Amino acid sequence: MEIRQLRHFVAVVTEGSFTAAARAELIVRSALSTSVRNLERELGADLFDRTGRRVVLTEAGRALLPQARALPAGARSARDAVAAVAGLHTGRVSIGTIQTLTCVDLPGELAAFHQEFPAVRVSVRDATVDELAEALRAGELDLAYLAPDARELPEGLTVHAVRHEELVLITAPGHRLARAGRALIRDLAEEPFVDFRAGTGLETAVRRLAAHCGLRRRITCDVTQAGLLVELVRAGIGVAFVPRPIGERAGLPCVTVRQPDPGRTMVPAGRGPRPRNPAAAALLGHLTRGRADLTDAGSSAG
């Protein structure tokens, strides 16, 4: 049983299909399928139920998954140690983010990091806050931007910095609130809202804001994609709370809301005070270097 086979098995589970897993592993689908088949033959059990379109683990697959995730992680640690000695001439780092991250220009930061460490491969995952936190704890991600709001981070995760994002209300052009440019929470009582699906970081922040202010929102549509939310607002289906840069980039009216000022907290987080992966430590240093708006750096949950 080879670590490469276990990595291919985990990739199928993580990506949700053999095709997507092959793309992530940078090999052809047939080679990845053969690798998994050889692993099943060696173990003497089917790991996936292939009777339907969806990838479904068998009982044997579910039993293997925790160990399969742990073994490649150990191998990566060994490669990372070599990469550190070699001065990061090679290596990999994985970072998670939410769709609506605006407190940092992540593409720009990653481009600058790539210029400094061109041989380090960066993997970026877009998911919900809970999924990112779980992936951090499982060792699938080195770093992630989370929006914990009033919640404590899961035990074992460390906050490396704290940032604040301003939230504004976006509306369709010509909306009555757009003309005013500012509003109070109570002015929104009769407005229909477009919102993210429950469980996303922005939805949680807005729901807590509404509960704190006694605002009972009428949700007319909920979505999973930021681009679709913006276009639904533009079409006049409802209004929505988003970080200001999202509204400004979309060219939609951004209404400043007062009493209280809506906002949310964003934190880059990882496991432990300093990443063990040298590439992750270098990326974290790059993301937090010289940032005047950082506070509580290095605080740990649990």
Q: Which residue has the higher pLDDT, 91 or 28?
A: 28
- CA–CA separation, 96 and 128 (whole Å): 9
Asked if omega into 260 is within 30° of 0 (cis), the reply is yes
Over range 94-101, report the average pLDDT: 91
What is the pLDDT, as a whole number, of residue 302?
A: 39
Q: What letter would DSSP give residue 237?
A: S
DSSP string, 46-113: --EE-SSSS-EE-HHHHHHHHHHHHHHHHHHHHHHHHHHHTTSSS-EEEEEE-TT--SS-HHHHHHHH
Q: Could you report the per-residue pLDDT of 105-144, keeping only the tens digit for each?
A: 999 999 999 999 998 899 999 888 888 988 998 889 999 9
Question: In this structure, are residues 93 and 279 in contact, taking their beta carbons and an 8 Å threshold?
Answer: yes
Closest-CA residue to 146 (of 98, 218, 216, 75): 98
Coil, strand or helix at 229: helix
Estimate the share of the chain in helix, then strand, then coil, as percent rounded to the nearest 5: 45, 20, 35
- Give the residue carrying structure tokens 């790991």: 47
* Separation CA 83–CA 275 (nearest Å): 14
Which pLDDT does position 207 carry in this prediction? 84
pLDDT for the residue numbered 261: 66
> Mean pLDDT across the chain, nearest whole number?
84
User: Cα–chain-centroid distance for residue 257?
Assistant: 27
Terminal CA-to-CA distance of the chain, rounded, Å?
37
Q: Residues 255-276: what's their mean pLDDT?
A: 83
Contact of 58 with 47, CB cutoff 8 Å: yes
Give the start-end residues of each E strand in the chain: 48-49, 56-57, 92-97, 121-126, 143-146, 157-159, 163-170, 182-184, 192-196, 218-223, 240-243, 254-258, 263-271, 299-300
Output the pLDDT for position 260.
67
φ, ψ dihedrals at 92, nearest 5°: -140, 150
DSSP annotation of 188: G
pLDDT in tens, 178-233: 888 888 888 888 899 999 887 677 888 888 888 888 888 899 999 988 899 999 99
pLDDT at 250 > cutoff 50: yes
What is residue 151's predicted lDDT score, i.e. its pLDDT?
Answer: 62
Q: Are 11 and 24 in contact (CB under 8 A)?
A: yes
User: CA nearest 128: which of 69, 197, 227?
Assistant: 197
Segment 266-271 shows an average pLDDT of 90
- Ranking 23-27, 89-93, 175-179 by mean pLDDT, the lowest is 89-93
278-296 residue pLDDT tens: 889 999 999 987 544 433 3
* Residue 103 confidence (pLDDT) above 50: yes
pLDDT tens column, 46-88? 999 887 677 889 888 898 888 888 876 766 776 666 666 456 7
245-254 mean pLDDT? 93
